A and B are shown apart, each in its own frame.
Chain A
Amino acid sequence: MITTFLDIVISGLLMGGIYALIAVGLSLQYGVARVLNISHGEFIMIGAFGTYILYKTAGVNPILTLAICGPVLFLIGFFLYKTLFKILLAFSDSAEIFEGKSLLASFGLLFIIQNIAILIWGADIKSYSFLNIGVDLGGALFPANRMVTLLFAVVISMTFYLFLAFTRMGKAIRAAAQNPRIAGLMGVNINQVLALCFGFGALMASFAGGLLSMCYPITTTMGMEYTVIAIIVVVLGGLDSIVGSFIGGFLLGIVGSIVTYIEPGLALVAYYAIFIILLLVRPTGILGK
Chain B
Amino acid sequence: MLHVNHINAFYGKIQALWDISLNVHEAEVVALVGANGAGKTTLVNTISGLLRPTSGLIEFLGKRVDDLKSHSIVELGMSHIPEGRMLFPNMSVRENLEMGAYTKRVWKNKHKTLEQVYDLFPVLRARQRQLARTLSGGEQQMVAMGRGLMSNPKLCIIDEPSCGLAPIIVQEMFGIIGSLRSQGIAIFLIEQNVQQTLEIANRAYVLENGRLILEGNSQDLIQEEMIKKAYLGL
Contact = CB atoms under 8 A, between A and B. Distances in A.
A240 B82 CA distance: 23
Most buried by B among A168, A182, A188: A182
Given A171-B91, A175-B88, A184 B69 contact: yes
Contacts of A172: 99, 102
B71 A171 contact: no
Contacts of B80: 185
Interface in B59-98: 69-71, 74-75, 80, 82, 86, 88-91, 95, 98
Contact of B69 (A174, A178, A189): A189
B147 interface: yes
Nearest to B96: A175
Interface in A255-289: 289
Interface string B101-121: 011000100000000000000
Nearest to A184: B70
Interface in A176-222: 178-179, 181-190
> Which label, helix, strand, loop or mixed, suits the secondary structure of the A interface?
helix
Nearest to A241: B90
B102 A178 contact: no
B214 interface: no
Contacts of B69: 184, 189-190
A188 B99 CA distance: 9
A185 B88 contact: no
Most buried by B among A174, A178, A240: A178
Nearest to A193: B71
B48 interface: yes
Contact of B86 (A182, A187, A240): A182
A193 to B, nearest CB: 10
B98 to A, nearest CB: 7
Contacts of A186: 71, 74, 99-100, 102-103, 147, 151
B57 to A, nearest CB: 21
Contacts of B100: 186
Contacts of B91: 171, 174-175, 178
A174 B99 CA distance: 10
Most buried by B among A171, A179, A185, A186: A185
A190 B71 contact: yes
Interface residues of A, number: 19
Interface residues of B, number: 24
B50 interface: yes
A240 B151 CA distance: 27
A178 B151 contact: no
Interface in A81-124: none
A243 to B, nearest CB: 10
A178 B90 contact: yes
Given A179-B86, A189-B71, A184 B50 contact: yes
A183 B74 CA distance: 11
A168 to B, nearest CB: 6
A185 B89 contact: no
Contacts of A184: 49-50, 69-71
Contact of A178 (B71, B74, B75, B89): B89
Given A168-B102, A171-B99, A188 B71 contact: yes
A244 to B, nearest CB: 11
A179 B80 CA distance: 15
B48 A185 contact: yes
B191 to A, nearest CB: 19
Interface string B131-163: 000000000000000010001000000000000
A183 B96 CA distance: 10
Contact of B95 (A171, A182, A188, A240): A171
B98 A171 contact: yes
A188 B82 CA distance: 16
A240 B91 CA distance: 13
A165 B49 CA distance: 28
29 contacts: A168-B107, A171-B95, A171-B102, A175-B91, A178-B91, A179-B88, A181-B70, A182-B88, A183-B99, A184-B49, A184-B50, A184-B69, A184-B70, A184-B71, A185-B48, A185-B71, A185-B80, A185-B82, A186-B74, A186-B102, A186-B147, A187-B74, A187-B75, A187-B103, A188-B71, A188-B102, A190-B69, A240-B90, A289-B90
Interface of B: 48-50, 69-71, 74-75, 80, 82, 86, 88-91, 95, 98-100, 102-103, 107, 147, 151
Interface of A: 168, 171-172, 174-175, 178-179, 181-190, 240, 289
Q: Which 3 A-B pairs rank lowest in CB-CB distance, beginning with the nearest?
A: A187-B103, A187-B102, A184-B70
Given A178-B90, A186-B102, 4 more contacts: A172-B102, A181-B70, A186-B100, A187-B75
